Amino acid sequence: MSKKCILFFSEAVTVAHVVRLWQLAKSLDTTVYDVHFAVADRYTFVFDERHITRHRLFSIPSDVFIHRVENAKAMYSTQELTHYVKDDLAIIEHVKPDIVVGDMRQSLCVSSRLTGVHHVALANAYWHDNFHKMHFPVPEIRQFNLSKIPGIRSILPLYYAWFFRYQGKTLNALRQQFKLPAFAHCLDGWNYGDTVIFSDPSLLFNKYNCPPAHHFIGPVFWEPEVEEPSWWCDLDNSKQTAYVSLGSSGDNALLPSLIKLLSEQGFQIILNAPREQLNLFCENHIYGAEFISGSKAAARADVVISNGGSPTSYQAFSVGTPVIGVPRNLDQLMSLSFIEAFKVGITLRPNDINRKQFKKSLHDIIHDKDYKYNAKKLAKNIAESTPEEKFSKVITNLLNQGNL
């Protein structure tokens, strides 16, 4: 009996979109499945499985994507998405998969329809209108401190009506080009799939009903295989500790301010940052590493300071540590809106990083025991989620249906 073929499409605009899909691809039994992984030629340090066939794929540069997101511009042009579809179709034709699995690969809402292949989409639940109910936070746009504008919340419905129409133009232009019906809302395109799997703790969204063909599998984690830093045993167990990691889509220009404010509060600091940033900090209470086990660092810390996005936040919650999120884009704000609602973290906008506001956020997260209690509840939920096992079950069930 021939193996069933599963083809993964990763959109390599941030490392998070590559690693979580790679983890799921690696979880499939290659004695049962023929597994293929299409991705741009970047983040190559992630790929450690020889039994998965990789295919080169075009993705726009990460810095271009992040700049567009930060400045509320369209994430892709129609020309770029057309290029994506061309690449998708060529690989699908070559591989002939039974199922394609995508993460942020927006072109699959066309490619999968043109080829008739079943599309499983990996997404975050906070982008699905079944959960956010069209309630959105004040956006974070680098040139403007919108959160300080009087009455800004009253005009948010108008802003987002415009914003999502604007974001949806390129996607609907692409679908029109291939004679496919337009989406009523661009979020329908961003969450599009015959089957949708959410890489989130179900407990964060447990007051909502999950739509049909949608499944919570839990956070999918990846960490570099590195030894403990030489300084690990030098950490002082008697000191309050902060783990600071702003990630590939965070703003490392904020690190000097964050480190200074943490130092003023007497914190021991574990810092994960690029090498050129680490060289700026040589104080005895700062312990830095370019590559580190984030889960171990978070477990050692009293608070994790991140960009507020789901990867580092969920990693912190998996070991029962609350977060302070410093968001750079709307995805991170959306993640933080549910984190704050569950009282397991606090949002600190970049323009609000000052001594008074930072000290208050830090005091609240450390001294209000609800944050730690709720983080431990999420840790239990995450420990029970077994995402790789649930993903494998979704794939098996789809193949057993026999109508793909």
**4-218+385-401 with 232-383: one CATH topology?**
yes
Can you give the pLDDT at residue 238? 94
Can you give the pLDDT at residue 151? 75
Can you give the pLDDT at residue 163? 83
What is the Cα–Cα distance from 235 to 11, expressed in whole angstroms? 38
> What residue spans define the domains of the chain?
4-218+385-401, 232-383
What is the percentage of the chain residues whose pLDDT exceeds 70?
Answer: 96
Can you give the pLDDT at residue 137? 83
Assigned CATH for 232-383: 3.40.50.2000
Can you give the pLDDT at residue 134? 58
Complete edge-to-edge strand list for the sheet that includes strand 268-272:
286-289, 268-272, 241-245, 303-306, 323-325, 345-347
What is the Cα–Cα distance from 143 to 149, expressed in whole angstroms? 13
Model confidence pLDDT, tens digit, residues 17-71: 999 999 999 999 999 999 999 999 998 888 887 899 999 999 999 999 988 888 8
**pTM (2 decimals)?**
0.91
CATH number, domain 4-218+385-401, options 3.40.1280.10, 1.25.40.10, 3.40.50.2000, 3.40.630.10: 3.40.50.2000
What is the Cα–Cα distance from 183 to 179, expressed in whole angstroms? 12
Model confidence pLDDT, tens digit, residues 311-340: 999 999 999 999 999 998 889 999 999 999
Can you give the pLDDT at residue 41? 92
Can you give the pLDDT at residue 144? 62
Low-confidence residues of the chain: pLDDT under 50 = none
Q: Which two tokens stand for residue 262?
A: 């943490």
Strands (E), 107-265: 118-123, 195-198, 214-216, 241-245
Can you give the pLDDT at residue 223? 87
